[in-house]
Chains A and B, each alone.
Chain A
Amino acid sequence: MAVKYENAIKLPGDLSPRSKWLRDYYFEGLNRKWNNEYTAYTTGTPWDLQFDEMTYYIVPENHTFLSTFGSTFRQLAQVVPMPDGFWDKSLVERKADFLKEVMVNQVPMEIIPGDLLCGARFNVFTSMCLTEAEQKERDRLVKEARKSMKWIFQHGYGNGGATSGHLVPGYQKIVDHGFKAEYERYEAMYNELSEADKNGQHGAQLRAMMTSCTIPKELSEKFSMYCKQCADKVDDPVRKEELLKMAENTAKVPWNGATNFWEAVQSLWMTHMLVMSDENYPGPGVSFGRIDQYLYPYYKKSIEDGMSEDFMKDILGCMWFHCNSAYDGYIKVGGNQGITAGYGQLLTISGMGKDGQDMTNDLTYLILDVIDDWSPILEPKPNVRLHKGSPEKLLDKVVDMISKSQGAPFLLNFDERSMAGMLREARFYGDLINEDNVCEYAPVGCLENTMVGNDRSGTVDNNINLLKAMELVYGNGKDMEPYEDIMGGKPTKLTQDGPKTGELKDLDTWEKFFDAYKKQTEYLIKKFVDNYELSEAIRAKYNPTPYLSCLVGGCAEKGLDVTQGGAEIGFVTMEGVTFASTVDSLLAVKYLVYDKKECTLEELVQALYDNWEGHDVLQAKAKNRAPKYGRDDDEADELAREVMEFWSDETWKYETKSTHRRFRPGMLSWNYWVGGSYVMKASANGRANPQFLSNAICPSNGADINGPTSNANSVGKALGGKVDGNGDWTEYVNYLPNGASHTITFNTSLIRDPTHKEKFKSFLHGYIENGGTALQINILDPDVLREAQAHPQDYRHLLVRITGYNAYFVSIGRELQDEIIARESHMGY
């Protein structure tokens, strides 16, 4: 029987010739004439460095190459001569001057054929602009930071480091008023400063920010001239007119406010692109925010002026192209799409307004069309905000798009639960987040909720393996086994890292065990706080980003760079990884050792040391008989909630010393739950090493045997559920202001026709009521089914549905499974 998998893969939609050309050109990858590969620039001093390794501390795949990257870019760097007096200036001014010289005069000026937007190359590595003494001191401090970071990673604690991006810059103020307004504001503030302040840090910061404001101005003006030159050389009258219009656009924005849709998108793109240049990092969660809201007035104006929606889709299509070119950075290393798929230039559409009204508009639908037509593609990553008042038309469109894709082409964000979290963190920053403005929140990166234009909350900077606390309990504060360096092969000695919480034999009640777990969790969090301080303090002292600071409210007023805690709202997020593995392990210990007395704690821990080998029956009981989070079992979910409340309360206690940023909890976990599964020993929930750990707030793989409604109910309860009249937002509670990543896989047959799409909408309505902050939907694909055949234990929740009858996929015979796989491939119902 021939199976045509390609039929099951979504194809791009009906793109215009221009958009189709750009999309195809992008996927030509290395064969392209043009690309956005990194170029590096130096002041020419022998000690100069471009590559900031700290921003890669959270990417363990890179740990081995940190020194290599550093020296590679140093060797590649072109010397940029700087004028006299450069070294007499403050560091932040040197940085602004250097970036300006690079972006305006060094980076090649190009326009992609058919492109409607100016600004193409932005992947640069720029000099740190440090004096010899500064660079030496920084290098010394970085060595310490690297050592600490490596230690917590190698010992299975997770990873952490001060990382770029992950915020929504104040794009709206630039689109509306231009950099000119910012420049004038800083100038006025500067003139108000005392002489002492002018000569001090505040003055230097403002001068650097004024210089930064002129970078997009001068770069755009150069583009304007370049467009005119190009127009002269073009015969096609249509293209000629486009280039002339682009020359007009760039003469105006982003220095001035935009007056129509084309200008607004040009202003947005140029402003956005330069953030990535300033930070020397492509697309690291630098997110657009509620793009359908702040671009709407320009959309309306251009519609009135007679611009067609098709042309607007092309303008947005050009932006889609450029966002994806972020991946060109390492294009020669990783083929067509570079080394990673993990950037997150997130845009947000729809959602609630100030009085609870829905904010969906015509531009929302236009953007959804562009998303649909361009997908599958990696950037920008769209996020659709849903709430109780979301219109049926929007839900229909969303469900329709989900039904056509294997993985939904966007993430769904849920306003009520998300806003509850934002109001929970509001207490730390006066009245900056309140009931009236909380609806303006937007996610960054993947799903991390922040406020917009004045908030940097370090949403990927700390990834804490909650399960490690269990290992430390088993080892009475020591690792279960000494760490061995795979590369060097040198074993180390076990050390008393965590507190002594008791010998196993002394933990003779559940209360004592749970208390020991809590004490080790306290230690774990403190360890992360201390580790983070090292890289945060270095960044604050040596790595200012004055251009980005212009787009973050608070920096100019405080005279502090965004890297120094200049943002009005500045949290550092602790992202909890392996939540369900931890909760299920606690549940298993409670069930096996204390409630059912199936074994002693020593016996259970021995089984973990043996990776469950020779303990089949105990492992089976841990897996199948012990309660699990994710089944809408109130007792299990209550422990999940307790664990959540405990670790999040502990997180709130800390603040960075160097920048005064408060720690806040979230659950993102990127791909760490996969890598971590190799580092972690077997766990009490029946998991052997190296089976995967649980992902973010999701139940453990295979644990949610009661279906998606129970799964969603459990997630909502773990986040705090609902409390009548006493929630954070209306009745909703949310312990995790950052939000929590939740993925559910559905069968394609569930949304096969209009009737079933309606049913799926009911599920989404239910999720708004009871679920978490964000949901990623996967529509089942035959490969998953094959995986389920091979590993039935991990897929016990997988429901197969054929009209009038349902069955758990793993409980039916092989031949029927094969038949269903063939059917899934055909969508042949």
Chain B
Amino acid sequence: MSTEDGPGLRTTVFLKGCPLACTWCHNPESIEPRSHVEWKGVLCMGCGICAKVCPKHGITFDEDGVHTADFCEACGTCTRECPTQALELKGVNYTVDDLYATVIKDRAFWGKDGGITMSGGEATLQWEDVLAFFKKCKADGVHTALDTCGFNRRDVYEQLLPYTDIFLYDLKLFDDAEHVKYTGQSNKIIFENFEWLAGTDARIWVRTPIIPGATDTDENIKGLAGIVRDRVEKWELCSFNNLCVDKYERLGKEWDFKGKGLIAKARMEELTALAQASGSPIAFWSGATALEN
């Protein structure tokens, strides 16, 4: 049950794999396209069964917890045997039909506005399956939303367009060099795709993560406002949150934003006003801000 991934009450499917690697990514487990094993320390009972059963002897177990080796192929042996499900296989294979059968059980709850959201990672990396899935949805009258970073071939979006009721489109950084620095890719294709999509009759909600020290500058918001303007239904400035710091720890990665606090409410209001004044009256902000005493 998802309330944050598009209109109405929705069921969201997260697909693995992303062409970008935003340093602030909140779903870091979804960047890597292959399945992987994740360890949740809070659930672990320390039985050590995982280390014993791993066919590749790739699990070490010490006072810091469970570590999987780089050569782990996510065969699923340890996650099957783990008594507490502290080890979880991230990335499960579904056929389009099986996935559809699973999500459609929630249909009664979607109401007139809700439906299914394909998110990620970047859902369009598996665009052929998404297309097949969306066609199935539309044949059945199910509302479809595509959450995308915009980084894919134009023809992929052209094919998806007739079966997508709403695009949740991310625009992050206006300056291309900054975009490369923080996401690993140029924003050129993303902006070109946006220009094209905004010219169609597609329903679009734009989302911009407001990340301290990265996307939260006046220049960036002004620049993006010039692109977004009033050509879409909504432009949401999502205040940075640090909920995912544990996910990075679980993945054994260091997160660049670990020490950053939340943005002040006044700053979010300021940025929103700036966006509105810079040609995008539809801008608004959401999310958590720093606590004020």
A756 within 8 A of B: yes
A804 pairs with B238, CB closer than 8 A: yes
A655 within 8 A of B: no
Inter-chain contacts of B113 with A (CB < 8 A): 758, 762
Inter-chain contacts of A625 with B (CB < 8 A): 83, 85
**In the complex, A479→B245 CA distance in Å?**
50
With known contacts A620-B83, A756-B3, A816–B245 Cβ distance under 8 A: yes
A828 pairs with B287, CB closer than 8 A: no
B42 within 8 A of A: yes
Inter-chain contacts of B40 with A (CB < 8 A): 811
Query: Number of A interface residues, CB 8 Å?
Result: 50
**Min CB distance, B290 to chain A, in Å?**
10
B111: which of A766, A770, A800, A816 is its contact (CB, 8 Å)?
Answer: A766
B residues 231-246 in Cβ contact with A at 8 Å: 236, 238-239, 241-246
B239 pairs with A617, CB closer than 8 A: no
Q: Mark A612-634, 1 if CB is under 8 A from B, else 0.
A: 00001110110111000000100
Inter-chain contacts of A31 with B (CB < 8 A): none
Inter-chain contacts of B287 with A (CB < 8 A): 802-804, 829
**Min CB distance, B242 to chain A, in Å?**
7
A761 within 8 A of B: yes
A617 pairs with B245, CB closer than 8 A: no
Inter-chain contacts of B277 with A (CB < 8 A): none
A residues 711-725 in Cβ contact with B at 8 Å: 712-713
A829 pairs with B110, CB closer than 8 A: no
Inter-chain contacts of B293 with A (CB < 8 A): 1-2
A759 within 8 A of B: yes
B207 within 8 A of A: yes
Inter-chain contacts of B47 with A (CB < 8 A): 616-617, 620
**Min CB distance, B140 to chain A, in Å?**
16
**Min CB distance, A760 to chain B, in Å?**
8
A761 pairs with B111, CB closer than 8 A: yes
Binding stretch for chain A, among B101-109, B121-129, B221-229: B101-109
B83 pairs with A766, CB closer than 8 A: no
B8: which of A708, A758, A803 is its contact (CB, 8 Å)?
Answer: A758
A803 pairs with B246, CB closer than 8 A: no
**In the complex, A812→B114 CA distance in Å?**
28
B139 within 8 A of A: no
B43 pairs with A803, CB closer than 8 A: no
Closest B-chain residue to A808, C-beta based?
B40
A709 within 8 A of B: yes
Closest B-chain residue to A706, C-beta based?
B1
**In the complex, A709→B12 CA distance in Å?**
13
A152 within 8 A of B: no
Closest B-chain residue to A771, C-beta based?
B108
**In the complex, A625→B242 CA distance in Å?**
31
Inter-chain contacts of A616 with B (CB < 8 A): 45, 47, 83
B2 pairs with A806, CB closer than 8 A: yes
A residues 782-818 in Cβ contact with B at 8 Å: 792-793, 800-807, 810-813, 816
B246 pairs with A812, CB closer than 8 A: yes
**In the complex, A621→B83 CA distance in Å?**
5
**In the complex, A763→B286 CA distance in Å?**
22
A15 within 8 A of B: no
Inter-chain contacts of B85 with A (CB < 8 A): 624-625
Closest B-chain residue to A828, C-beta based?
B291
Q: Mark B68-85, 1 if CB is under 8 A from A, else 0.
A: 000000000000000111
A527 within 8 A of B: no
Q: Mark B28-71, 1 if CB is under 8 A from A, else 0.
A: 00000000000010110101010000000000000000000000
A750 pairs with B105, CB closer than 8 A: no
**In the complex, A765→B9 CA distance in Å?**
11
Closest B-chain residue to A632, C-beta based?
B105
B4 pairs with A805, CB closer than 8 A: yes
A812: which of B1, B8, B243 is its contact (CB, 8 Å)?
Answer: B243
Inter-chain contacts of B111 with A (CB < 8 A): 758-759, 761-762, 765-766
Closest A-chain residue to B85, C-beta based?
A624
B26 within 8 A of A: yes
Closest A-chain residue to B288, C-beta based?
A802
Closest B-chain residue to A618, C-beta based?
B83
A766 pairs with B3, CB closer than 8 A: no
**Min CB distance, A395 to chain B, in Å?**
11
**In the complex, A761→B9 CA distance in Å?**
9
A residues 83-130 in Cβ contact with B at 8 Å: none
Q: Mark A64-85, 1 if CB is under 8 A from B, else 0.
A: 0000000000000000000000
Closest A-chain residue to B27, C-beta based?
A805
Inter-chain contacts of B8 with A (CB < 8 A): 758-759, 762
**In the complex, A792→B84 CA distance in Å?**
12
**In the complex, A804→B43 CA distance in Å?**
25
**Min CB distance, A727 to chain B, in Å?**
15
B241 pairs with A1, CB closer than 8 A: no
**Min CB distance, B190 to chain A, in Å?**
18
B114 pairs with A759, CB closer than 8 A: yes
A823 within 8 A of B: yes
B83 pairs with A763, CB closer than 8 A: no
A769 within 8 A of B: yes
With known contacts A707-B1, A770-B108, A804-B238, A811–B42 Cβ distance under 8 A: yes
B4: which of A806, A810, A812 is its contact (CB, 8 Å)?
Answer: A806
20 additional A-B pairs beyond A620-B84, A803-B287, A816-B242, beta carbons within 8 Å, are A616-B45, A620-B83, A623-B84, A624-B85, A632-B105, A708-B1, A713-B105, A756-B3, A759-B111, A762-B109, A765-B109, A767-B109, A792-B43, A803-B286, A804-B4, A804-B209, A805-B244, A811-B42, A819-B291, A823-B291
A sample of 16 cross-chain residue pairs with beta-carbon separation below 8 angstroms, ordered by A number, consists of A616-B45, A617-B45, A617-B49, A620-B47, A623-B84, A709-B105, A750-B3, A762-B8, A762-B113, A769-B108, A803-B236, A805-B4, A805-B241, A805-B243, A811-B42, A813-B249
Binding site for B on A (CB under 8 A): 1-2, 616-618, 620-621, 623-625, 632, 707-710, 712-713, 750, 756, 758-759, 761-763, 765-767, 769-770, 792-793, 800-807, 810-813, 816, 819, 822-823, 826, 828-829
Binding site for A on B (CB under 8 A): 1-4, 8-9, 11, 26, 40, 42-43, 45, 47, 49, 83-85, 105-106, 108-114, 207, 209, 236, 238-239, 241-246, 249, 286-288, 291, 293
The 7 closest A-B pairs by CB, nearest first: A766-B109, A762-B111, A620-B83, A769-B108, A803-B287, A762-B9, A766-B108
